[in-house]
Amino acid sequence: MKNHAVAVQVVDVINFIAYSRASKEALKSANLLKSLDINALITGEEGVGKATLAKYIINAPVVDGSENIDAILNLISEHKKLIVSNFDKITHIEMLFEALQKNKTRIIATSSKDIFHKISDKFFSLSINIPPLRERIEDIYPLAKKFLEDAKRDFGLDDIDINIKKNRLDINRNCYSLKLTVYKLVIEELMKEEDIIQILQEFFLERLGSNNDYRNNLYIYEIPLIKAGFLKFKSQLKIADKFGINRNTLRKKINEYKL
């Protein structure tokens, strides 16, 4: 068998935030697994916290199931505990099972896709499913607060008060998009007018070169301005008055941009 190198990350035990009923049940199962020497599978959509929960259960090297099977088998021979992400991508399932049995290696596996019950029952004594954030509403704001603390630490902003805008929190990709939203809010809080101008300049620089560039790119300025006007002034009449433009012109813009 050839020796294939594989990137392995050893992780520390970290907290799993649980406020919703589903998350509390998952954490309860995880706490049980911390005291039992059995294999377990954690399933759920991408970004729901499968890796976080796995790392909470055991402190062990992490290997991706899409890695070469020889590399995974080598790690099994070297470690008594292993976290296997993307378990559904593993090839040569029988070779993996035999290696785990021979070396008595315990695995906590994660998968974003369904595993056939025949395989799941063969490898794992317990399965945990973590629902998406849209089904765990109570977890969203505590997670956002955690990501905010992470961002403030990363940017050295301990003395700055930043408001988490709940209407801006994106959970489409669960924790991935939620964390990205929070970091965007932090960056926006730090940005000055000259920063925005510089970003737009770089953006336009990549788009210029065709006819009618000014008119074709005007929507990038007008759409957010009109949307902000609606949020602040609530009515077309007030927006037109504050913007100093004709109401018919404003209505035309609203229809043009389908706002």
CATH of the domain at 19: 3.40.50.300
Residues 31, 110 within the same domain:
yes
Q: Looking at the 3D structure of the chain, how many domains does it have?
A: 3
Query: Does residue 198 fall inside a structural domain?
Result: yes
- pLDDT given for residue 159 in this prediction: 79
Q: Let me know whether 69 and 165 are in one domain.
A: no
* 202, 215: one domain: yes
What pLDDT shows up at residue 210?
A: 87
Structural domain contains residue 148 = yes
Helix (H) or strand (E) holding 109: strand 106-111
Same domain, 160 and 214: no
The C-alpha atoms of residue 34 and residue 212 are separated, in whole angstroms, by 64
Residues 156 and 83 in one domain: no
Whether 239 is covered by a domain: the verdict is: yes
Domain check: are 85 and 104 in the same one? Answer: yes
pLDDT at 2: 43
Q: Are residues 249 and 200 in the same domain?
A: yes
Supply the CATH number for residue 217's domain: 1.10.10
pLDDT for res 5? 46
Tens of pLDDT along the chain (259 residues) come to 444 444 434 333 346 899 999 999 999 999 999 999 999 999 999 999 999 999 999 999 999 999 999 999 999 999 999 999 999 999 899 999 999 999 999 999 999 999 988 899 999 999 999 999 999 999 999 999 999 999 999 999 887 888 888 888 999 999 999 999 999 999 988 899 999 999 999 999 988 998 889 989 999 999 999 999 999 999 999 999 999 999 999 999 999 999 8
pLDDT at 211: 87
The residues, ordered by sequence, that sit 6+ positions from 229 with a Cβ below 8 Å of its Cβ are 239, 242, 243
Same structural domain, 62 and 174: no
The β-bridge relationship of strands 126-129 and 106-111 is unpaired
Give the CA-trace dihedral at 87, 88, 89, 92, to 10 degrees: 90
- Is there a single domain that holds both residue 79 and residue 62? yes
Which residues pair with residue 107 across a beta bridge? 82
Of 98, 121, 99, whose CA–CA distance to 40 is shortest?
A: 121
Q: Is the residue at 78 inside a domain? A: yes
Say what angle helices 21-34 and 137-155 make with each other, to 10 degrees: 70
The answer on 90 and 47 residing in a single domain is yes
Which residue among 85, 113, 131 closes a domain? 131
4 domain residue, yes or no: no
Decide if 52 is inside a domain: yes
Do the strands 40-43 and 9-10 form a parallel or antiparallel pair, or are they unpaired? unpaired
Give kind and range of the element (H or E) at residue 4: none
Count of beta carbons in the 10 Å neighbourhood of residue 164: 15
The answer to the question of residue 39 being in a domain is yes
Give the residue from 149, 167, 190 where a domain finishes. Answer: 190
Same domain for 112 and 34: yes
pLDDT reported for residue 254: 93
- Domain range holding 74? 9-131
Contacts of 138 (CB under 8 A, 6+ apart): 19, 20, 21, 23
pLDDT value at position 13? 37
- Among the candidates 131, 166, 181, a domain finishes at 131
- At 54 the pLDDT is 96
Examine residue 68 and state whether it is found in any structural domain, yes or no.
Answer: yes
> What pLDDT is recorded for position 137?
96
Do 126 and 180 fall within a single domain?
A: no
pLDDT at res. 3: 45
